Amino acid sequence: MLKNILLVGLGGAAGSMLRYAFAVWFKHATFPLATFLVNIIGSFIIGLVFAYALRSENFATNWRLFLAAGICGGFTTFSAFSLESLVMLQQQRIGMFFFYAIGSLLLGLAATWLGYSLLK
């Protein structure tokens, strides 16, 4: 258990540093390009990791934890959202997918507005 926590933590640190680097590199963009790019890139990487893990029994759990939960998790949580949504669609849980996707967007925006409003 401790080894898994350390693998996720090390990957998360690397992902967070990469996310910060993107924010610095694209700080002058008028569009939130850094966030947009990390969300898309992170979603792509977690898709690669997920597919490779399914087809390769030799792909160690350690690498999945480090890459998917760690690096992608530190780089962006949108990647986890994308993967969970894809799994729901693959399982043909369409109602749950729409509830999750729309609920995440609307409740996330509402929670951000509420937090902002409380301390504004």
Residue 11 and residue 67 in contact, taking contact as beta carbons nearer than 8 Å: yes
The CB-side HSE value for 85 (13 A sphere, CA atoms) comes to 16
Summarize pLDDT for 23-80 with one digit per residue, the tens.
Answer: 999 999 888 889 899 999 999 999 999 888 888 888 888 999 999 999 999 998 788 8
| pLDDT reported for residue 120 | 77
Mean pLDDT of the chain: 92
77 assigned binding-site residue: no
- Whether 35 has a binding-site annotation, put simply, is no
Instruction: Report d(CA 22, CA 98) in Å as an integer.
Output: 30
* Alpha-carbon separation of residue 69 from 25, 81, 116 (angstroms): 24, 12, 28
Query: Residue 66 has what pLDDT?
Result: 94
Is it the case that residue 110 has pLDDT exceeding 90?
A: yes
Q: What is the reported pLDDT for 18?
A: 96
Integer Cα distance of 20 and 27 in angstroms: 10
Report domain extents, the chain: 2-119
The share of the chain scoring above pLDDT 70, in percent, equals: 100
- pTM, full prediction: 0.78
Residue for token pair 């401790």: 2
